[in-house]
């Protein structure tokens, strides 16, 4: 391996390691903090969270970002060993890097297809890792000096040499220990999906929220109060990962006020899809309109709540055909196709209302005409505002 090849391999491995480590951090925060908003979620089309929280974001329960960390770390170790004059199997290091990068290349081609074709989302951090893998594949292939067909015969000899080298053995053990620890430490999907049991705020926190709340501008939200003192309007999209997080986070809060007519929660649809939302012509959610229509139609069968839960529970698998099938099986909707065009009028009305109120992302909440910060509002803070409005109404 030439000095230039080794330098380039280590440079691209470091670049990929930085991107995949950042991806792992973002994925971790998404699973552990429902209010977290990733810096790389620019729009519906440029969105890391949608990729990480989709069904393509993990394999065997392990986030794909961690696989990237493992791959680039291994490339760094092999390239580093290849630069040591006394390293075991020094001449074979480019071939081993080429072999694992071939597997990695196939992996990113699949992920790229899933992101751009299935999810219709561009993930910036993912793209950096894709470029790094392709570069490593090309460089290591050019640096390999013997036929790859002979590599399997070299493996037993190189493994024996690795075991007899203290430095190589320690690095291998550290790599295996680190990889296993990362997988074991990473949280599963369960914490994010579990309903949030929030802790009420103390008096000082409530006073600070009250001061902030009084400074928020008020607008006219043309939705009837129907005798309620507090109206919470939620603009949501069934293919939005943050909407799923909000759905889970507010379950306990909605349950708290379910028997009180003074507080009313209202869902309004804002799918990030141009078919039914002129304020999101470039949205990347291919089944958002079908999902919203399924819930509207399920109200007539009395199964809107079941349809709502199914859509969020299966968010990463949503396609127009999947929603249509679930509309019949879960929502009890006999003729989804025949009712779809007419139902979209209601979905478009919701989206138009959201656009006129300045909704640009989901979830977006309005409480008695005042807009809350975009994203998942802390349920404890939302509860404090509801109680404040109830007190003032009395």
Phi, psi of 330 (to 5 degrees): -95, -45
pLDDT over 90 for what percent of the chain?
A: 51
- pLDDT tens across 113-151, in order? 888 877 677 888 999 999 999 999 999 998 888 888 888
Measured CA to CA, the distance from residue 150 to residue 147 in angstroms comes to 6
Which comes out higher in pLDDT, residue 337 or 152?
Answer: 337
Mean of the per-residue pLDDT values of the chain: 86
Q: Is 245 exposed, middle or buried (0-12, 13-18, 19+ CB in 10 A)?
A: buried
pLDDT digits (tens, 9 = 90+) for 206-262: 999 999 999 999 999 999 999 999 999 999 999 988 898 889 889 889 989 988 999
Q: Which two tokens stand for residue 2?
A: 């030439």
Instruction: Give the pLDDT score at 55.
Output: 67
196 falls in which pLDDT band (50, 70, 90)?
very low
Residue 189, pLDDT above cutoff 60: no
Instruction: Break the chain into its structural domains and give their ranges.
Output: 3-191, 195-393
CB 52 within 8 A of CB 26: yes
Counting other chains too, the contacts that 364-369 makes at CB distance below 8 Å and 24 or more residues apart are 364/234, 364/235, 364/270, 365/232, 365/233, 365/234, 365/235, 366/219, 366/221, 366/231, 366/232, 366/233, 366/235, 367/230, 367/231, 367/232, 367/233, 368/218, 368/230, 368/231, 369/218, 369/219, 369/220, 369/221
Tokens coding 134: 């392709």
CB crowding 14-35: b at 16 or more within 10 Å, else e:
ebbbbbbbbbbebbbebbeebb
Q: What is the mean pLDDT of residues 25-46?
A: 74
Q: Which of 93-102, 140-149, 191-200 has the lowest mean pLDDT?
A: 191-200
Fold of 195-393: Glutaredoxin (3.40.30)
**What pLDDT is stored for residue 213 in this prediction?**
94
pLDDT digits (tens, 9 = 90+) for 281-290: 555 678 999 9
- 3-191 maps to CATH 3.40.50.11890: no
Q: Are 112 and 87 in contact (CB under 8 A)?
A: no
SS (H, E, C) the chain: CCHHHHHHHHHHHHHHHHHHHHHHHHHHHHHHCCCCCCCCCCCCCECHHHHHCCCCCEECCEEHHHHHHHHHHHHHHHHHHHCCCCCCCHHHHHHHHHHHHHHHHHHHHHHHHHHHHHCCCECHHHHHHHHHHHHHHHHHHHHCCCCHHHHHHHHHHHHHHHHHCHHHHHHHHHHHHHHHHHHHHCCCCHHHHCCCCCCCCCHHHHHHHHHHHHCCCECCCCCCCCCCCEEEEEEECCCCHHHHHHHHHCHHHHHHCCCCCCEEEEEEECCCCCCCCCCCCCCCCCCHHHHHHHHHHHHHHCCHHHHHHHHHHCHHHCCHHHHHHHHHHCCCCCCHHHHHHHHHHHHHHHHHHHHHCCCCCCCEEEECCEECCCCCCCHHHHHHHHHHHHHHHC
Model confidence band, residue 386 (pLDDT cutoffs 50, 70, 90): very high
Q: CB-based contacts of 185: which residues, under 8 Å, 6+ apart?
A: none
């Amino acid at each position: 391996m030439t000095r230039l090849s080794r330098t380039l391999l280590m440079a691209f491995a470091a670049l990929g390691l930085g991107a995949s480590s950042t991806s792992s951090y973002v994925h971790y925060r998404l699973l552990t903090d429902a209010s977290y908003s990733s810096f790389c979620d620019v729009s519906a089309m440029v969105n890391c969270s949608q990729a990480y929280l989709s069904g393509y974001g993990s394999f065997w329960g392990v986030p794909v970002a961690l696989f990237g960390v493992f791959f680039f770390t291994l490339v760094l170790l092999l390239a580093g060993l290849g630069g040591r004059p006394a390293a075991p199997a020094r001449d074979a290091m480019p071939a081993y890097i080429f072999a694992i990068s071939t597997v990695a290349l196939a992996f990113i081609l699949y992920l790229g297809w899933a992101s751009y074709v299935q999810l219709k989302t561009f993930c910036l951090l993912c793209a950096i890792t894709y470029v790094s893998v392709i570069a490593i594949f090309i460089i290591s292939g050019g640096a390999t000096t013997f036929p790859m067909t002979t590599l399997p015969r070299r493996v037993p000899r190189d493994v024996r040499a690795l075991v007899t080298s203290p430095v190589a053995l320690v690095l291998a053990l550290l790599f295996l220990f680190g990889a296993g620890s990362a997988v074991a430490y990473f949280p599963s999907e369960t914490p994010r999906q579990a309903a949030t049991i929030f802790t009420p705020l103390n008096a000082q926190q409530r006073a600070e929220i009250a001061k902030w709340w009084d400074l928020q501008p008020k607008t006219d939200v043309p939705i009837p109060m129907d005798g309620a003192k507090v109206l919470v309007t939620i603009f949501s999209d069934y293919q939005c990962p943050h909407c799923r997080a909000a759905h889970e986070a507010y379950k306990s809060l909605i349950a708290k006020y379910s028997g009180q007519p003074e507080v009313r929660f209202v869902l309004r649809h804002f799918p990030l899809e141009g078919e039914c939302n002129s304020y999101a012509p470039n949205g990347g959610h291919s089944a958002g309109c079908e999902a919203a229509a399924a819930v509207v139609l399920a109200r007539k069968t009395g199964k809107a709540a079941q349809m709502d839960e199914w859509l969020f529970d299966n968010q990463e698998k949503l396609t127009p055909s999947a929603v249509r099938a679930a509309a019949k099986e879960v929502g009890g909707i006999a003729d989804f196709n025949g009712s779809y065009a007419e139902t979209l009028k209601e979905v478009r009305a919701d989206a138009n209302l959201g656009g006129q109120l300045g909704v640009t992302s989901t979830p977006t909440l309005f409480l008695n005409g005042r807009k809350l910060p975009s994203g998942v509002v802390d349920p404890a803070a939302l509860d404090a505002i509801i109680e404040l409005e109830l007190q003032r109404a009395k």
